[in-house]
Each structure stands twice: as C-alpha cells, then as structure tokens.
C-alpha cells in the first residue's frame, strides 16, 4: 500500500482482492490459537526431531525471481519423525520474507485445528527465525508478524 501512496504503483484488482481476503482470514483467526512453541533456525537441510512429546512444524517459502510469484509449504511431524500432515499454497506476487512468514502462519492454523499445544517450528529463513523468535517483534511494522506473535 505504501508503494501505491508514495510511488504511484498500481495493483490488479484480483491481486488486491486476494490480498484482502488473506488478511481477513489472518485477523479472524489471530486470537484463536494458543500454542507453546520454540523456533529453530535450520541451516542443515536434514530434519532434526523436536523434544519428546512435541510436534515439529517445518516450513518454507519460495519466490520466483522472474515474476515474483511465491509458494509456501510445510510439514508437521511428531518426535519420531512420523508425518502427521502437510500443506502447500500459491501466494501470488510476494516477497521472500512474506512467503516465509506466511508459511509459519498457515502451519500454526493447522496446528490449532489439530489441537497441538507443544510445537517446535523449524525454518531455513534466518530473518523469519529472528523476527518470530524475538518477543520485542510484537511492535514490528509487519502485520503478519504481529499476528503470528499473538498466536503464542
């Protein structure tokens, strides 16, 4: 929106509607998840299990350099590495940070629906890891990050 106001950027109607719909879902669900979670930055591509009795949400986001279209995905596994569920979603035009954060958010919504209360989140995005892991980030200017942090 700042680009629209300050730089004269234009947006396609379907992109604006898609974005508005996603934000509506985000805010409608923001106060419904109460999860204790740990966030781990993953630098090694191999999976590492969460502590016994915990579940692991491993997330990722990707954005194509050609057109800026993003996709997200994630898997939830138990401490034995057994697959519980997974998800993928196309995001439309987005930034890599937004895609990484959105994958965490989508995963948390699934966690809520499954009734999981002990969750270890793994992400390969050092920036998303840092933002989600810092309690002071609740005052951050990124609305999606504030919603994720309120899910704690």
Q: Is residue 38 part of a domain?
A: yes
Q: Is residue 24 part of a domain?
A: no
CA distance 5 to 67: 23
Q: Is residue 55 part of a domain?
A: yes
User: What is the tally of structural domains in the chain?
Assistant: 1
User: Is residue 1 packed enough to be buried (19+ CB in 10 Å), middle (13-18) or exposed (0-12)?
Assistant: exposed
Mean pLDDT within 25-36:
51
Q: Is residue 2 part of a domain?
A: no
pTM over 0.75: no
> Which token pair is 126?
């050092």
CB 112 within 8 A of CB 82: no
- The domain in which residue 108 lies consists of 34-150
Return the CATH number at 142. 3.30.420.10
User: Is residue 4 packed enough to be buried (19+ CB in 10 Å), middle (13-18) or exposed (0-12)?
Assistant: exposed
Amino acid 151: pLDDT: 76
CA distance 133 to 127: 10
CA distance 61 to 74: 9
Q: Is residue 4 part of a domain?
A: no
> Which token pair is 8?
């004269």
Q: Is residue 69 part of a domain?
A: yes
Please state which of the ranges 12-16, 20-24, 33-37 shows the lowest mean pLDDT. Answer: 33-37
Q: Is residue 12 part of a domain?
A: no
Residue among 66, 70, 85 nearest 144 (CA):
70
Q: Is residue 9 part of a domain?
A: no
Residue that is written with structure tokens 């990484």 in the block? 100
Give percent above pLDDT 90 in the chain: 38
> Which token pair is 1?
């929106």
């Amino acid at each position: 929106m700042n680009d629209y106001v300050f730089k004269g950027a234009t947006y396609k109607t379907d992109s604006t509607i898609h974005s508005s719909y996603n934000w509506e879902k985000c805010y409608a669900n923001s106060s419904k998840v109460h999860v204790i979670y740990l966030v781990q930055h993953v630098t090694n591509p191999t999976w590492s299990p969460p502590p016994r009795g915990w579940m692991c949400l491993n997330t990722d986001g990707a954005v194509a350099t050609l057109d800026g279209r993003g996709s997200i995905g994630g898997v939830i596994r138990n401490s034995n590495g057994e697959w519980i569920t997974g998800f993928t979603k196309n995001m439309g035009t987005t930034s890599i940070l937004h895609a990484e954060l959105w994958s965490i958010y989508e995963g948390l919504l699934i966690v809520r629906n499954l009734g999981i209360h002990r969750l270890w989140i793994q992400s390969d995005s050092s920036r998303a890891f840092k933002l989600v892991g810092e309690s002071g980030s609740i005052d951050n200017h990124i609305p999606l990050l504030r919603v994720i942090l309120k899910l704690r």
